[in-house]
Amino acid sequence: MVKETSLRKYLAFFVTAALAVVVLWALLPFAKAMFAGLIIVALFSPLNNYLVNKHRLNRKFSSILIIILSIILIITPLFLILYFVGVQAQSIIQNPEQISTMLETVGGLFPQLALQERVKTFIPELGTFLIQHTVKIFSKLGNLILNLIVMYFLVYYILSTKKDTRWKYVKFASPFNEKNTLKLRDKFIAVSNTTIKSTVIIAIIQGVLIAISFLIFGIPGAFLFGFAAVILSFLPVVGVFIVWVPVAAFLLIQKSYFTAIGIIVTGLIISNIDNFLRPHLQKRGAGKMHPFTTLLGVIMGIKAFGLIGLIIGPLLLTFLILTIEMFKEEYVN
């Protein structure tokens, strides 16, 4: 009888594990959408609680308001940025005289690179490449819409569910005791808020200032460089240096000393904004992350999840470290 019970237990475990693997495999294409949904929930939960508890709004109505607000604050600006970047990239590609002048200057200093010959063969291929990838982008539009639907349905059902009910699901899914599960939940909220709020605010400020400074000094593709600065500012230490340093160096090569000095001065100021703002924006304690964790998480996240990996990567790495600490505390020590 004992053997039969033990056999049934192992069989039940195997069936459960197999079903879990199949479900996870089926959900894998929506992993980014689900992570993004959880991040939005962590960001807007305080506002949702305020609307429900203080103003007595219906949870479902409050969830819909949160979704609309997140679309206005997150999705719409992203599409606007991509639109401006596309316009800037198109204007650069359609200005062959400017590209030719730049190539002549660099080619005169480094003739061994044979840049003009390489570009002459590359430009015809570039048009075909852009057309093909435009078609691919439209073909993937349906997948993007589906992921947004999954993300916002997740946001809606989590925010519209009562706090006690949500906590029951979390405790059921967690392999740790209630104390550590609560710690993990609080860590997720703290790290999500710290990472996103501080990093995104600083990234936007630096990107906008780079674009404005490039517009003032007449640098072509200012919006494109600004967008690049927004993305690269997620990387600690190097950040926006990658954007303005090559531009300043090229201007020095062209002997445009006044413009180069202007870019260097403004670039140094913008690059150091991080050091002044982050201590004020970033919470101490549970929400604070080591710079190396952030850098490694960003690199890992971009490779695994694409652009959204800038945020997901550091979160996952931080939670891995935390779960190892919990496992040692609960099951080893």
Residue 106 pLDDT > 70 = no
Residue 22 pLDDT > 70 = yes
SS3 string of the chain?
A: CHHHHHHHHHHHHHHHHHHHHHHHHHHHHHHHHHHHHHHHHHHHHHHHHHHHHCCCCCHHHHHHHHHHHHHHHHHHHHHHHHHHHHHHHHHHHCCHHHHHHHHHHHHHHCHHHCHHHHHHHHHHHHHHHHHHHHHHHHHCHHHHHHHHHHHHHHHHHHHCCCHHHHHHHHHHHCCCCHHHHHHHHHHHHHHHHHHHHHHHHHHHHHHHHHHHHHHHCCCCCHHHHHHHHHHHCCCCCCCCHHHHHHHHHHHHHCCCHHHHHHHHHHHHHHHCHHHHHHHHHCCCHHHCCCHHHHHHHHHHHHHHHHHHHHHHHHHHHHHHHHHHHHHHHHHHC
Highest mean pLDDT among 49-58, 104-113, 135-144, 228-237: 49-58
Q: Which of 16-30, 71-85, 95-109, 168-182 has the lowest mean pLDDT?
A: 95-109
Task: Look at residue 112 in the predicted model and tell me its pLDDT.
Answer: 47
Task: Look at residue 68 in the predicted model and tell me its pLDDT.
Answer: 92
Residue 208 pLDDT > 80 = yes
Higher local confidence (pLDDT), 180 or 212: 212
Give residue-wise pLDDT tens across range 111-162.
545 555 555 555 555 555 555 555 565 566 677 788 888 899 999 998 888 8
Task: Look at residue 298 in the predicted model and tell me its pLDDT.
Answer: 74
Give residue-wise pLDDT tens across range 297-333.
777 877 777 767 777 787 788 778 878 877 877 777 6
Task: Look at residue 277 in the predicted model and tell me its pLDDT.
Answer: 73
Give the residue-averaged pLDDT of 263-290.
Answer: 71
Closest CA to 211 of 101, 90, 95, 85: 85
Higher local confidence (pLDDT), 251 or 289: 251
Task: Look at residue 289 in the predicted model and tell me its pLDDT.
Answer: 64
Give the position of tokens 């009888």.
1
What band does 220 get if pLDDT is binned at 50, 70 and 90?
confident
Mean of per-residue pLDDT scores for the chain: 75
Residue 283 pLDDT > 70 = no
Q: What percent of the chain has pLDDT over 90?
A: 5
Q: Are 263 and 248 in contact (CB under 8 A)?
A: yes
Higher local confidence (pLDDT), 239 or 319: 319
At 39, list the tokens.
Answer: 């991040």
Task: Look at residue 65 in the predicted model and tell me its pLDDT.
Answer: 92
Contact partners, residue 82, CB within 8 Å, separation at least 6:
227
Give the residue-averaged pLDDT of 74-103.
Answer: 62
Give the residue-averaged pLDDT of 81-109.
Answer: 58
